[in-house]
Structures are given as C-alpha cells and as structure tokens.
Amino acid sequence: MSNQLTFLTFFFVILQCYAQEKQTVISGKISSDSLSVENIHIINKNSNKATISNQYGEFKISVKVNDTLVFSGIQFYTKEVLITQLLIKSNMITVTLFQKVNQLDEVEVKAHDLSGNLVTDANNVKDSVSKVNSIALDFSMIDFSKTVISDIDEIDRRKPPDISRLVNPHLQIGIGASFTIGSIKKKRTPTIPEKIRADLGNAFFTKTLKIPLEQIDFFIDYCKSKGIIDLYIKNRKIEVIDILIKESITYRKLEKQD
C-alpha cells in the first residue's frame, strides 16, 4: 500500500511538471487610450517566439507557466507580463499600453522684440533699418574689378553686382549652372534597413535582443544575408522578427569572442 501511494505521488509530480512545461497557445488583446494598437511586437523571452498584433490589437502566441511576454511599440512604453497558471486556464490575456510622452521645456514665445517704451522702440527700429540698408546697398568699399572674370569687357567690369541676386532664391554658380535653395533641402528617402530599425524601435533591439544601441545598424547589416530585406519588402514582419531573434544569439557570441 505504501509503495502504491509513493508511486501515485511521484506520478502526479511528474504530471504537474509536464503540464508546466507544455506550451499552450493563448489569445490576447492590447488596448490603448488613443493610439492604434496595430503591429505591436509581442516577444516570449523564454522561448524567443514572437508575433505582432492585428488592427484590433488581437494576437495569439505559445506560452507556458512562468514565461514572460514583452510588449513593445514605437510610440508606447515597453511592458512585461508574467504568464501564470490562471492566465493559461482562462486562455485570454488583456494588456493596456501607455503612450510615450515627450515633455518639452517651457519656452516664452514673443511675437516682437519691443520693450513697451515708444521712444526706445522707435529708435531701435530706425537703427535696424539703417543697418539693413547699409549692408544691402553700400558697395563703395568693394573693389569689383578684383572679383570678376578677366575676359568680361571693361563696361561690365565697372558694373556693381545685381542686387536682386542677393535675395533671389535661384543662386547662380559659375557659367550656365544654377540650383535652388529648395533643392538642397530635398528629403532623403530612408533605406530598407533604416525602415526596419524605425518600425521595430530601438527598444526592441536593446532590451529584447540585447544589442547595444551603437551596434544596431551593424547587426541589421549582419542579418541581410538571411533575407530580411526581401521579407520586409513583402511585409512578412513576423519572419523578419524571428530571424533577428535567432541571429542576435550568434551575433552576441561573436562580439564576446572579439
């Protein structure tokens, strides 16, 4: 009888341990006060499995008791949730994310530099106008004969420069070459690696993958050979995340060896 009781006790202990190790697919829903909860990254820190939420904030992921889920998004604070037996039994987890708030220093905006004293302000305005006129129109101190091209005829050599070119947004460079100020400020299109970093967020690389901030670009370049660029272009983000998680382990080992 004693041997049977011991066997049953041992059997239930083994069964309980097996149940704790068994992976279970659990459903979840993410909510927020105002921002969209689509494409939130959900990482299982213990199994390195990952997924992303749909447009309604819904997701599914495999877990077991004592696993930790990490929720991260570009505009949200990162949140971690410990998986308990109660959550697995309910087969549902609800998570609320909070928006990051960028607090700016208080500044005083003034529409003018007037002091309120009419006499002082009038004199200041008069002095400012005089300085502007002297800068824009006084060419008496400039020797234009030393600033022009030698093959221009003598009449053109004696002409002062065209004042309109001082304020014209189309700048003349050399002979027959010109460009506009607007063309200089043309916005550069981000590369695919830059889009991957911006989409996943620095916190995903530094906190989840343990990649130092200054090495994120090198790590993404390291993973190019695994096809992450083509996968990202095809909007297969889950596969991209899975590759990044796996390759981060190898990358960190290589860094330690160096």
Q: Across the strands, what pairs with 36?
A: none
Given a cut of 70, whether residue 194 has pLDDT beyond it is yes
- CA-to-CA distance for 126 and 175, rounded, in angstroms? 39
Among 184, 213, 238, the domain-final residue is 184
Q: What angle do CA 83, 50, 97 make, to 5 degrees?
A: 65
The whole-number average pLDDT for the span 47-63 is 93
Q: Is the pTM of this model over 0.85?
A: no
Q: What is the DSSP string of 205-257?
A: IIIIS---GGGHHHHHHHGGGGTHHHHHHTT-HHHHHHHHHHHHHHHHHHHHH
The whole-number average pLDDT for the span 252-258 is 82
Residue 15 lies in a domain: no
Q: What is the DSSP letter of 68?
A: E
pLDDT band at 121 (very low <50, low <70, confident <90, very high): low
> Residue 210 is part of which domain span?
192-257
pLDDT band at 14 (very low <50, low <70, confident <90, very high): low
Among 240, 202, 247, residue whose Cα is nearest residue 52: 240
The reply to whether 37 and 87 lie within a common domain is: yes
- CA-to-CA distance for 172 and 195, rounded, in angstroms? 37
Q: Which residue has the tokens 């697919």?
A: 25
The whole-number average pLDDT for the span 168-181 is 48
Strands 79-82 and 68-72: antiparallel
Tokens of 161: 């420069």
> Domain containing 31 — which CATH number?
2.60.40.10
Residue 245 lies in a domain: yes
The reply to whether 66 and 132 lie within a common domain is: no
pLDDT band at 109 (very low <50, low <70, confident <90, very high): low
Cβ pair 24, 83 in contact under 8 A: no
Domains in the chain, number: 3
pLDDT band at 255 (very low <50, low <70, confident <90, very high): confident
